[in-house]
Chain A
Amino acid sequence: MKMKFGTMAVAAVMAASPVMADLVFPSLSYRTGPFAAGGIPFADGYADYFTLLNERDGGIGGVMTRVPECETGYNTEKGVECYESTKGEGALVYQPLSTGITYQLIPKATADDIPVHSMGYGRTSAKNGAVFSHIFNYPANYWDGASGAINYLLETNGGDLAGKKIALIYHNSAFGKEPIRTLEGLAEKYGFSLIELAVDHPGQEQKSQWLQIRRERPDFVLMWGWGVMNQVAIQEAANIRYPMENFIGIWWSGSENDVLPAGDAATGYKALTFHGVGRDFPIYEDMQKYVMDAGLAAGAGDQMGTVLYNRGVYAAMLAAEAAKTAQEIHGVADITSGMMRDGMEALVITEAKMEELGMPNFGPEFAVSCENHGGDALIGMTQWDAATQTWTLISDYKPTDGDIINPLIEEDSMAYAAEAGIEPRC
């Protein structure tokens, strides 16, 4: 009832308002360069969802949306240039789609009163909203991913990992090193040993690392990779006949791009996730009707249902829902970026809402607050089947180990607060 009243209030304000500007959701995409295969489906999904809202619902709260795209080439400098060149258009929120760009935008966007949503990447400790007022990383971050992987292994191994060997093969960058502290803490807690194997960028040559895995025979291998590193790692794992069902990648190592080059040998490979896979969701019927069939798809229209397309759709849906929340909080349809930030901070995603949107079980339930910009940290697991060329969700979205993660978030965020002279807000 409260929601309905809010919606009616927004509608009433809209009816009395003069012509309104668009709601602008810039897309910092990368459709070119070595990572384009990953950037294209995300950008398509992000843009197509807003097109769907425009065509089917007349925008958000009666205001049309606009998604200006700026090509970053997954390059941090270009990403910052894109931010600077689009923020003046009335940008409501940025999804930088790169940890490097996110780090650069943290102080800039905060100063400009524009929120940043780094979903499943970026600075993990941004979860502490008391310090990072404008940065959001719901519904999950890398430390949740590390804990989610270990929880899954605990669940599938009778709750005991003592004496087991777990190897982490990671991209030798800030992104790849993110899970190490969490995994070290979890290794101490659960009694497994951790083998760390760094792979230099771009990751085309990994023979040394996989020879070491073959020699040391870890029980499980976790991977924090991106781009060509993923495809080579999965092929090398197949070459040494490492059991694929014991090989788990982070969500950036779990798209069709990563497994298809290895062919049948990739069957059984697993990847963490925080959103649904496949196209068996009611929303895709609308997407087909209002976007694809109408010839309004952002790309070639051939990505619907792929992992990274779904991630783009999910990111757009969360942005749209936050915009709706902001409209309800402030009673205006034509919201500003500051209002958008308020909407993001009050965002609540429930299964009922997901069903209403035609996305049942597409993502976990969570709530955002002033203290918690990272959501409830629920992680699922997917598995690849090469025969049907499909990912399947094999585990529900389950909680992660806050006892290990929360102190790390507190420590890192407070260090940032001290360095940047930030007084925690809440």
Chain B
Amino acid sequence: MPDQLIYAMEVSLNGLMAGVMYALVALGFVLIFKASGIFNFAQGVMALFAAMTLVGIQTGQVPFAHLINAVFGTQIHHFGWQIHSIVAIILTVGVMIALAWAVQRFIFQHLVGQEPIILFMATIGLAYLLEGVADLMWNSEIKKLDVCLADGTCLPQGINLAIDEATFNLFGYGFFVDNLDITATIIAIILVAALVAFSQYTKQGRAMRAVADDHQAALSVGVSLNYIWILVWSVAGFVALVAGIMWGAKSGVQFSLSLIALKALPVLMLGGFTSIPGAIVGGLIIGVGEKLFEFFMSSSDLAGALFGFTMNATENWFAYVLALIFLVFRPQGLFGEKIIERV
């Protein structure tokens, strides 16, 4: 088998894994948009806030320590304890639920019935507010994220030796696949299965779907819009936490985490804003597409031989080009709901 083909297979496999990471971010957008028609600009910042809160709780950091010290002249920074990852995750989920309640109570409850663009602008304000609160609460330092299970197993990183060995035996070249990406894939599968089960088989999930279909009809049969929207923002907060953990494990927990939202936009355009399977499939297509294109264009043996030049750093813009190509044929995205307006 030609070397370039083998390398392309390795790149595709890594593209699939990267796609899962993009899909994890896109899922949060889809959940909120589907249930309330709000494009949540703050989803990336929610991932940042969740990850910072997790590390802060885990390491016993005093929230707002710098503010407290500046006002009262104290010198407190840590409570002096370390909390187990599982407990810290549960507590962080609690914080994200509180945030969902606050967002609904203080922002969106006052904007019911407003135009979508107003709701969108409110989420832009929310993004800035939340980023500032996260900074004040947990400070701007880059934090190392260690999420471990009860038996001491932590989030794995680095080459998966089994895949490396198996592919070496097959092709004479060992593929690199990051253990963290494999873990993210498994978690994403569990997460999507749980979300589907929740929306199909629980009373709250069915109410959520009813609101998504027609919130006025849902209201008329006694579904509390307020409650459902808090629920949806809470679930989106949980998804943001998962995305924050996975991306934070790669780069440390830092303010750049909020920019991961940029990787989700082409995924949403391609997969559709209202489809959970769309977010997954869109993520995979974008992941594989951008990685293969980068591989092809940066190779002197491929693009160099064909066009006489090579390019790199194509991934950011190519993801959008790919999404736009799909939009030409399916404006609602691959799995989005077709909007039919009768005149």
Which residues of A come within 8 Å of B, CB atoms?
Answer: 31-37, 40, 172, 196-202, 204-205, 207-209, 211-212, 214-215, 227-228, 231-232, 235, 238-241, 257, 260-261, 263, 265, 295, 300, 302
Could you say which of B14, B157, B256, B260 contacts A207, with CB atoms under 8 Å apart? B14
Could you say which of B77, B158, B254, B260 contacts A231, with CB atoms under 8 Å apart? B254
Could you say which of B18, B258, B295 contacts A205, with CB atoms under 8 Å apart? B18
Distance in Å: Cβ of B45 to nearest Cβ of chain A? 11
Segment with Cβ contacts to A, from B34-42, B135-143, B232-240: B135-143
Q: Do the beta carbons of A207 and B135 come within 8 Å of each other? A: no
Q: A204-B250, A211-B10, A261-B252 are in contact. List 18 more A-B contacts (CB 8 A).
A: A32-B132, A34-B255, A34-B256, A34-B258, A204-B256, A208-B294, A208-B295, A228-B256, A231-B252, A232-B251, A238-B157, A239-B178, A240-B176, A261-B144, A261-B145, A265-B158, A295-B73, A300-B69
In the bound complex, how far is the Cα of B260 from the Cα of A228, in angstroms? 11
In the bound complex, how far is the Cα of B157 from the Cα of A148, in angstroms? 33
Q: Interface centre among A205, A215, A257, A263, by most B CB within 10 Å?
A: A205
How many Cβ-Cβ contacts under 8 Å join chain A to chain B? 113
Across the interface, name the chain B residue whose C-beta is closest to A299. B66
Q: Do the beta carbons of A202 and B291 come within 8 Å of each other? A: no
Q: List 15 A-B contacts (CB under 8 A).
A: A31-B140, A32-B132, A34-B255, A34-B259, A37-B140, A202-B259, A204-B259, A207-B18, A208-B294, A208-B312, A211-B14, A215-B7, A231-B251, A260-B252, A300-B69
Could you say which of B140, B158, B258 contacts A238, with CB atoms under 8 Å apart? B158
Question: For B200, what are the chain A residues with a Cβ–Cβ distance below 8 Å?
Answer: none
Question: For A212, what are the chain B residues with a Cβ–Cβ distance below 8 Å?
Answer: 295, 298
Given A172-B313, A227-B256, verify A239-B11 contact (CB < 8 Å).
Answer: no
Question: For B263, what are the chain A residues with a Cβ–Cβ distance below 8 Å?
Answer: 204-205
In the bound complex, how far is the Cα of B296 from the Cα of A390, in angstroms? 41
Question: For B251, what are the chain A residues with a Cβ–Cβ distance below 8 Å?
Answer: 204, 228, 231-232, 235, 261
Q: Do the beta carbons of A204 and B260 come within 8 Å of each other? A: yes
Question: For B142, what are the chain A residues with a Cβ–Cβ distance below 8 Å?
Answer: 37, 231, 257, 260-261
Q: Do the beta carbons of B315 and A33 come within 8 Å of each other? A: no
Q: Do the beta carbons of A214 and B312 come within 8 Å of each other? A: no
Distance in Å: Cβ of B316 to nearest Cβ of chain A? 4
Question: For B259, what are the chain A residues with a Cβ–Cβ distance below 8 Å?
Answer: 34, 202, 204, 228
Q: Do the beta carbons of B291 and A208 come within 8 Å of each other? A: yes
Which residues of B come within 8 Å of A, CB atoms?
Answer: 7, 10-11, 14, 17-18, 21, 66, 69, 73, 77, 132, 135, 139-145, 157-159, 176, 178, 247, 250-252, 254-256, 258-260, 263, 291, 294-295, 298, 312-313, 315-316
Across the interface, name the chain A residue whose C-beta is closest to B48. A34
Q: Do the beta carbons of B316 and A200 come within 8 Å of each other? A: yes
Distance in Å: Cβ of A46 to nearest Cβ of chain B? 17
Q: Do the beta carbons of A36 and B140 come within 8 Å of each other? A: yes
Across the interface, name the chain B residue whose C-beta is closest to A176. B313
Q: Do the beta carbons of A198 and B73 come within 8 Å of each other? A: no
Q: Do the beta carbons of B11 and A208 come within 8 Å of each other? A: yes
Q: Do the beta carbons of A200 and B255 come within 8 Å of each other? A: no
Could you say which of A36, A199, A302 contacts B255, with CB atoms under 8 Å apart? A36
In the bound complex, how far is the Cα of B66 from the Cα of A231, in angstroms? 25
Question: For A240, what are the chain B residues with a Cβ–Cβ distance below 8 Å?
Answer: 159, 176
In the bound complex, how far is the Cα of B69 from the Cα of A228, in angstroms? 28
Question: For A35, what are the chain B residues with a Cβ–Cβ distance below 8 Å?
Answer: 255
Across the interface, name the chain A residue whose C-beta is closest to B14. A207
Across the interface, name the chain B residue whose C-beta is closest to A227. B256
In the bound complex, how far is the Cα of B7 from the Cα of A205, in angstroms? 19
Given A212-B298, A231-B251, verify A241-B158 contact (CB < 8 Å).
Answer: yes
Question: For A261, what are the chain B residues with a Cβ–Cβ distance below 8 Å?
Answer: 142-145, 251-252
Distance in Å: Cβ of A141 to nearest Cβ of chain B? 24
Could you say which of B250, B252, B312 contacts A197, with CB atoms under 8 Å apart? B312
Distance in Å: Cβ of B258 to nearest Cβ of chain A? 7
Question: For A260, what are the chain B residues with a Cβ–Cβ distance below 8 Å?
Answer: 142, 144, 252
Q: Do the beta carbons of A208 and B315 come within 8 Å of each other? A: yes
Distance in Å: Cβ of B13 to nearest Cβ of chain A? 10
Across the interface, name the chain A residue whose C-beta is closest to B18. A207
Distance in Å: Cβ of A298 to nearest Cβ of chain B? 12
Distance in Å: Cβ of A13 to nearest Cβ of chain B? 39
Question: For B66, what are the chain A residues with a Cβ–Cβ distance below 8 Å?
Answer: 300
Q: Do the beta carbons of A198 and B313 come within 8 Å of each other? A: yes
Given A214-B176, A235-B251, A300-B69, verify A202-B256 contact (CB < 8 Å).
Answer: yes
Across the interface, name the chain A residue whose C-beta is closest to B316. A200
Given A208-B294, A211-B11, A261-B142, verify A235-B250 contact (CB < 8 Å).
Answer: yes
Could you say which of A32, A232, A263 contacts B250, with CB atoms under 8 Å apart? A232
In the bound complex, how far is the Cα of B258 from the Cα of A32, in angstroms? 13
Question: For B255, what are the chain A residues with a Cβ–Cβ distance below 8 Å?
Answer: 33-37
In the bound complex, how far is the Cα of B265 from the Cα of A425, in angstroms? 52
Across the interface, name the chain A residue whose C-beta is closest to B310. A196
Given A239-B178, A261-B144, verify A228-B294 contact (CB < 8 Å).
Answer: no
Question: For A33, what are the chain B residues with a Cβ–Cβ distance below 8 Å?
Answer: 255
In the bound complex, how far is the Cα of B17 from the Cα of A32, in angstroms? 32
Distance in Å: Cβ of B261 to nearest Cβ of chain A? 11
Question: For A208, what are the chain B residues with a Cβ–Cβ distance below 8 Å?
Answer: 11, 14, 291, 294-295, 298, 312, 315
Q: Interface centre among A40, A209, A239, by most B CB within 10 Å?
A: A239
Question: For A239, what are the chain B residues with a Cβ–Cβ distance below 8 Å?
Answer: 157-159, 176, 178
Distance in Å: Cβ of B284 to nearest Cβ of chain A? 14
Distance in Å: Cβ of B159 to nearest Cβ of chain A? 6
In the bound complex, how far is the Cα of B76 from the Cα of A302, in angstroms? 12
Q: Interface centre among A32, A197, A198, A204, by most B CB within 10 Å?
A: A204
Distance in Å: Cβ of B6 to nearest Cβ of chain A? 10
Q: Do the beta carbons of A198 and B176 come within 8 Å of each other? A: no
Question: For A200, what are the chain B residues with a Cβ–Cβ distance below 8 Å?
Answer: 313, 315-316
In the bound complex, how far is the Cα of B48 from the Cα of A37, in angstroms? 14
Given A197-B312, A207-B291, A228-B256, verify A37-B176 contact (CB < 8 Å).
Answer: no
Could you say which of B17, B132, B141, B258 contacts A37, with CB atoms under 8 Å apart? B141
In the bound complex, how far is the Cα of B263 from the Cα of A201, in angstroms? 11
Question: For A232, what are the chain B residues with a Cβ–Cβ distance below 8 Å?
Answer: 250-251
Question: For B69, what are the chain A residues with a Cβ–Cβ distance below 8 Å?
Answer: 300
Question: For A214, what are the chain B residues with a Cβ–Cβ distance below 8 Å?
Answer: 176
Distance in Å: Cβ of B67 to nearest Cβ of chain A? 11
Question: For A37, what are the chain B residues with a Cβ–Cβ distance below 8 Å?
Answer: 140-142, 254-255
In the bound complex, how far is the Cα of B291 from the Cα of A205, in angstroms? 10
In the bound complex, how far is the Cα of B263 from the Cα of A265, in angstroms? 27
Q: Interface centre among A208, A211, A212, by most B CB within 10 Å?
A: A208
Distance in Å: Cβ of A310 to nearest Cβ of chain B? 17
Question: For B73, what are the chain A residues with a Cβ–Cβ distance below 8 Å?
Answer: 295
